Amino acid sequence: MNERGQTVGSDLNPKSPVREGNVGYYRISSRWEDEDVYGHVNNVKYYSYFDTAVNGYLMRETGVDIRRLDAYGIVAESSCRFQRELRFPLDVVAGLKVTKLGNSSVVYEISLFQGDDPEPAAVGRFVHVYVTGEDRNVTPIPAQIRAVLEPLVG
């Protein structure tokens, strides 16, 4: 971490993506409880926003409750590069890109925006590995999920 609290040497794209550089979007309402005693959204909430954006986007775009599929994505890895504070009560807009689409895994780059600022407040990396329900064996990404992920590849 540097003096501004930003991750140094992360595996995220070193250039801040601009809002227009994303392919998919998902709006998240910030909540009163998201802010901490320092008057900004607590850093752990950013990870919750990533999870909400990815799964909310998949459910919205497929029209399927992804929790009911035979296979589902579990988080195998996540990271975040904080660039500035998010605040309540403004909505957060998550810009989504897929940086790698494999047979059974997908790597997302998620940029969190607030207001009209073209630069993100944070950029995250989020990896889903698809597994079967009961035994949690790695399995191919379901066809309906893959269909909405392919347009996000960028």
Q: Is the pLDDT of residue 29 over 60?
A: yes
Q: Residues 128, 134, 136, 140: is their CA dihedral positive or negative?
A: negative
Determine the 3-state secondary structure of 72 from DSSP. strand
Determine the 3-state secondary structure of 18 from DSSP. coil
Q: Domain residues of the chain, as ranges?
A: 21-152
pLDDT-above-90 percentage for the chain: 77
CATH of 21-152, picked from 3.30.70.20, 3.30.1050.10, 3.10.129.10, 3.30.420.40, is 3.10.129.10
pLDDT, tens digit, 9 for 90 and up, residues 6-23: 333 344 444 445 566 667
pLDDT-above-70 percentage for the chain: 86
Residue 30: closest CA among 15, 20, 41: 41
Instruction: Indicate the DSSP class of residue 152.
Output: G
pLDDT at 133: 81
pLDDT at 24: 86
Residue 145: closest CA among 67, 48, 47: 67
pLDDT, tens digit, 9 for 90 and up, residues 111-150: 999 988 889 999 999 999 999 988 899 999 999 999 999 9
User: Is the pTM value of this prediction over 0.75?
Assistant: yes
Instruction: Indicate the DSSP class of residue 142.
Output: P
Give the pLDDT band of residue 108 (cuts 50, 70, 90). Answer: very high
Tokens for 131, please give them.
């597994």
pLDDT at 7: 34
Determine the 3-state secondary structure of 107 from DSSP. strand
